[in-house]
Amino acid sequence: MQLSTRNKLFLSHFLAVILVSGSIGSYFYASAIGNLKHSLQSRLMNSAAILSEVFSANELTGLNTSADTQKPQYQALLGRIRRLAATNPDIAFVYVMRKVGDQVVFVLDSDPQPALPGEVYKQNIPELLQGFNRPSVDSDITTDKWGSFLSGYAPLHDANGDYLIGIDMYANEVSHKMYQLKQAGFISLIVSLFLAIVFSGALARNFNQRIDRLVRRCGEIARTQLEPSNSRRTGDELDHLAQTIEAMAEHLERSHEQNEQARKALERHKDELEQRVQQRTGELLEANDQLREEIRERERIEAVLQQTARTDYLTQLPNRRAMIQILDKEAARFERAGHPFSLVLLDIDHFKSINDSFGHDGGDEILVKVAASMRGWMREQDVLARWGGEEFLILLSDTDVERATEQAERLRTAIEAQAFTIGQGETRITASLGVAGYTSNQGIDSCIKDADIALYRAKSGGRNCVVTYREP
């Protein structure tokens, strides 16, 4: 069976699209699965690392057996760990374990029917043992008598390898996220097949229409029928085109006289054409000038848009994206020339009460005025950016962590001393600040995390204070 040119084109384009889209789709699907698992593991490990700062090994002293559950110390710590577990619906359990010789025993457990202090955990999980010395996460889902989980671990900051805190995520929650990703991949496959059929059909139809038009035009030029007679028609559309061109060649000599007449007509219209060319040239020059003006206007608009993308709309400070770029350059300058710098993360205390008292417009007004005041109190080489919500990030260039702590304290004092006018009223605010100094080969993300930890400690310590991050 001989296929038409249209069907051949359809099949070839369809197979090509399926091959390319299938290869690309498979690659991205596999990458998405891996990235999802890595993201869940990273969240668990980082969450455990953050929670490890909440508990101290000194608080856990004396919780060794089930009889210790009656102590007020145990009840207070149990309430705290259950509140932490309730803050995130993805978390199944949070617990604290102690290493006793070669055994691992429970100290605290957020389960409604918790494992008691001193209860031995019999599962041998390499990642759990690593968690006594550094943050770690399960490589695969682990099953024990409490269920199946994916868990993250981190040592307590002052435990010297004796205590860790763990976070469990239910395995069915992990499976549900994987199922959603697979479902999206299947839908994408169906859509790709549909688009491949539509795309291939459109290409084949478009190409075949051009062949048909060429056949008709050749037939008209040759003064023959629109198509060769049925007795001469063989093969597919391309064969049909070749036959039509042959018929056209047979009539080329007849067109010689017409060509001569056309040449004479061209001579008659030569002068008229030159006049039209001159007129059109003038119009094109004018249009070219207009186009240059439009290009300059577009370049100006693009510059404005680029600036807008790097600036916080409310405070007109650099936004998070712009600040990250500035910090990357400062880190490169540090690695190249050794110039120290520090970061200060500032959070306005009790900002929700300001919104409740003065409305969101009043809260926005406070943010604008605080930003303007801080810019006036800072040095010219320092950079102030809005980090998000009521948080601001300050880059103190050429400043070590001790001097940065002093400057942060002066800034905190200035904010506390200033009265801010909102509408017809006046209010005073305070701020909590976390300070972290950048160290060699640390990385900007790590330095920001240190400042965030210090800010968390400042807020936990009563707010309206400055806390400097120190290495554990």
Right CATH for 320-468 from 3.30.70.270, 3.30.565.60, 3.40.1390.40, 3.40.50.150: 3.30.70.270
Rg of the chain in Å (alpha carbons)? 37
Number of H helices, E strands in the chain: 11, 13
Segment of 7-11, 89-93, 230-234, 377-381 carrying the highest mean pLDDT: 377-381
> What is the per-residue pLDDT for 90?
80
* Cβ neighbours for 12, distance < 8 A, ≥ 6 positions apart: none
- Comparing 54-171 with 320-468, is the CATH topology the same? no
The answer to whether 85 and 110 have CB atoms below 8 angstroms apart is yes
Query: At the topology level of CATH, where does 54-171 sit?
Result: Beta-Lactamase (3.30.450)
Identify the three-state secondary structure at position 39: helix
**pTM of the shown model:** 0.41
Question: DSSP labels for 267-313?
Answer: HHTHHHHHHHHHHHHHHHHHHHHHHHHHHHHHHHHHHHHHHHHTB-T
User: pLDDT tens digits for 217-246?
Assistant: 776 665 554 444 455 556 666 666 666 677
Phi, psi of 298 (to 5 degrees): -65, -40
Q: What is the residue extent of each domain of the chain?
A: 54-171, 271-306, 320-468
What percentage of the chain carries pLDDT values higher than 70?
85
